[in-house]
Structure 1
Amino acid sequence: MNTRNKLSLLILMGFLAVTSCGKKETAPTEQPTEATDTYTEGEAAPTAAATEENVLVIEGNDQMQYNLNELKAVAGKPIKLTLKHVGKIPKEAMGHNLVILQEGTDQAAFALKANDAKATDYIPESEKASVIAHTKLLGGGEEDTIEFTIDKKGSYPFICSFPGHVAMMKGVLIVE
């Protein structure tokens, strides 16, 4: 092997080593919290499901990504969901929302109709029956909190309905 080939191979190996060892983002894991409840003797101790709160926080960024693709909640209890747009780009160019859809909704068909619904922040009027809840359309640095309840256990898809975002910004809300 001549010197030129050795040098090229060495540079390639160095490049691969540097690019493959970068910081990888991972979704934050839920840390168990210790709860101490008091109850009168003779009363039943509250179950974990009865004391859980459905407080959910999810972030969207300028790379068209949610930081989570799965959320969990307890059926029949109010859900308080906050979407934070942690990027810097304004909503006209990189808007994000979070739309929770009914089970079985065709996400691609919904997103296609959403493309033409700019006046309603990309929530198509014709598809209101498919929407359980949705946040406002947000730009960089903004956040929105919504409250709703889902009584039926199941897996409910969620998407960002801003044009072109559904391909990368989607997940599932699991209601147990």
Structure 2
Amino acid sequence: MELNLDELRELLSAVSQADISEITLKSGDFELTVRKGPKPGEYVLPQQTSVVEMPAPAIAALPAPTAPAPAAPALSAPPPSSANDKLVEITSPMVGTFYRAPAPDEPPFVDVGDRVRSGQTVCIIEAMKLMNEIEAEVNGEIVELLVQNGQPVEFGQVLMRVNPT
């Protein structure tokens, strides 16, 4: 297995942005392990910080305001839930390029209004020349597509929303 410098940089960038801590590539007598953070079983102790007490600064008496200060808004219950609260977001599990179809000359996997079932492929994310199929996690209807075909996406970026049934 040959790995040029650009491919290695791309691999390191993808690993640093992904939610993985270690990856190992093996091919014949070639082996490469990339690890983020401490080795398994190692513990990193947080640095201790010290608190230094300082005397409070002297504050001069201020004249009373002539107009009453606006009242702070009262804390209230959270806003009522909207219809969007029940939508399920399909997010990108990695950094890569979003594709709606398996090939440029083929129809997209899904469009707004399409019904999907759990496990159905809804798009592809290309990362490091690998095509990763992204599947729906629920049965439902596609109500929003938030990414254009061929657009770069980030880890955790919302790709589409599904109204579950």
Determine which structure has the larger strand proportion and give its number: 2
Relative contact order: is structure 1 or structure 2 higher (C-alpha 8 Å, sep ≥ 6)? 1
Which is higher, the Rg of structure 1 or of structure 2?
2
The interval holding the TM-score normalised by the smaller chain is under 0.3
Determine which structure has the larger helix proportion and give its number: 1
